[in-house]
Amino acid sequence: MGEQLEVLLVDDHEIVRQGLRALLEAEGDIVVVAEADSGTSAVSLASAHRPDVVVMDVRMPGGSGVEACRAIRDERPEAQVIMLTSFSDDEALFNSIMAGAAGFVLKQIRGRDLVDAIRTVAAGKSLLDPDVTKRVLERLRKPKLDERDPKLARLSPQEERILDMIGEGLTNREIAERIHLSDKTVKNYVSTILQKLDVARRAEAASYVARVRAQERPKPE
């Protein structure tokens, strides 16, 4: 890293990129070397400009941020990538970290905190706090549990999360409020979950996940 910290901004919304550029370049020692509006162009521009840090939106047309992060890190492991998203999503978090991202922040982050985050990863440090690390480790252990239960292996992390909430007795509306999705989206998730578990009703799904979770608990000594 030279005297100036070079950053590549990746977001499909031009106004977001403009706001981030103004914020970062006001620092004096941070320069935005390029902007990309898709994952595909991000990979190409990262190769051409070799930035110290890439600030990347998770979801974009033309290739996801996670895929672009993996490609950039494969080519230049020293490049640090911060994934930016408008909502908390365990699946996106897990996939981003597995792709080599150094951090994962919400777009609601304060400007000063984002600048600090960029400086942190540029110095070779991770933004991952212990809670995040714990969640990733738990997700990594899931395949071992799924070998015992092939039906759960069919579910995505988000579907499994919703299944657990069904097991808690939450309604679609309550689930939607908890994970910030629309009622219709949750309803679609529930339909897919029932299909993958080969059950017809929510009560059967709740009973199923209760049995599986009981088996997963460590037995007392």
Q: Residue 165's pLDDT band (boundaries 50, 70, 90)?
A: very high
State the sign of the Cα–Cα–Cα–Cα dihedral 107, 170, 214, 219: positive
Confidence check: pLDDT of 134 > 50: yes
| Residues 84-98 pLDDT 10s | 887 766 677 778 888
Confidence check: pLDDT of 60 > 90: no
Confidence check: pLDDT of 103 > 60: yes
Residue 181 CA, distance from chain mean position: 16
Question: Parallel, antiparallel, or unpaired for β 53-57 and 5-10?
Answer: parallel
89's torsion region: left (phi>0), alpha (psi -120 to 50) or beta? beta
Backbone angles phi, psi at 30, to 5 degrees: -115, 130
- Look up the pTM and report it: 0.61
3-class DSSP assignment, residue 152: helix
**Which string of DSSP letters, residue by residue, matches 48-76?**
HH--SEEEEESS-SSS-HHHHHHHHHHH-
One-letter-per-residue 3-state SS of 97-116: HHCCCCEEEECCCCHHHHHH
Domains and CATH numbers, the chain: 5-131 (3.40.50.2300), 149-216 (1.10.10.10)
Confidence check: pLDDT of 63 > 80: no
